[in-house]
Structure 1
Amino acid sequence: MEDMAGRRSPEVDAWFATYDNPQKPLVQAVRDAVLASDDRVTETIKWQAPTFVFEGNIASFYPKARKHVSLMFHQGASLPDPAGLLEGEGDTSRVAKFADADDLAAKVDALQGLVRAWVEART
């Protein structure tokens, strides 16, 4: 994956420095995958968690999940999801879950497709 160092937020880096969770390496890998989706996507801390943004909030981590990584897409119900990555039944949000590095590798194209769909709809 390309180097994301130039697009990483110092605020999010500081958050990760104090993040104590067995899934931390996987959360970092999901972070890299989202940032690699489109160079217009940025990150910040909202709701005490890393949040990806472009013309609005795209997705936020559930930082307390310890058995997998959960990334909540704030408007996930409105995104095309041909791979069926997103879970949930609500009117608005949906969640993508990643069990381990192999699971992320299998789902990375679908994850990046969701982020690109968000960006495309807002450009």
Structure 2
Amino acid sequence: MRHDPQVDAWLASRHGELGDLARRWFSQMRRSGNDVRELIHDGCPVACAADVAFGYVNVFSSHVNVGFFRGALLDDPDDLLRGEGKRMRHVKLQPGDALNERALAHL
């Protein structure tokens, strides 16, 4: 997979623990398959399988969202996903909070 320079610049510009969280989980998305592409959309990094967006990360003042465009369809036995829209769901990560990393990686 070829990294998009705009995505790399966005990730590098996020500092501290929040930036570390965003880089870690976007890196996980990058490793999701051989056909993964990435781009900046609506101001944040988005991972796509071929031409279909499947996930994103975004950094806010006190947390990071790891989001899934079709998250409402995902099996989430650990109840990590938040959101009430028709399709999208996200996991809200805050530095220092306990997280079931294996469950998030499985999503």
Question: How would you bin the TM-score normalised by the shorter chain?
Answer: 0.7 to 0.9
2:22 pairs with one of 1, 14, 27: 27
What is the number of equivalent residue pairs in this alignment?
Answer: 106
Alpha carbons 1:22, 1:66 under 8 Å: kept: no
Deviations 1:26-70 (A, max 9, x none): 11111122223333323211111101111411122233x122211
Q: Does structure 1 residue 76 correspond to structure 2 residue 53?
A: no
Alpha carbons 1:61, 1:69 under 8 Å: kept: yes
In the alignment, structure 2 segments of 5+ residues that lack a partner are: none
Q: Does structure 1 residue 43 correspond to structure 2 residue 38?
A: yes
TM-score (norm: length of structure 1): 0.69
**Matches of 1:112 and 1:39 in 2, distance apart?**
17
**Matches of 2:31 and 2:97 in 1, distance apart?**
18
Alpha carbons 1:60, 1:72 under 8 Å: kept: yes
CA-based RMSD of the aligned residues comes to 2.4
Q: Does structure 1 residue 10 correspond to structure 2 residue 5?
A: yes
**Matches of 1:9 and 1:35 in 2, distance apart?**
11
Question: Aligned ranges for residues 51-66 of structure 1 at < 5 Å?
Answer: 51-54=46-49, 55-63=51-59, 65-66=60-61
Identical counterparts, % of pairs: 31
In the alignment, structure 1 segments of 5+ residues that lack a partner are: 1-5, 115-123
Residues 7 and 73 (structure 1 numbering): CA distance in 2 closer, same or farther, change over 3 Å?
same
Residues 7 and 112 (structure 1 numbering): CA distance in 2 closer, same or farther, change over 3 Å?
farther
Letter of the structure 1 residue corresponding to residue 103 of structure 2: A
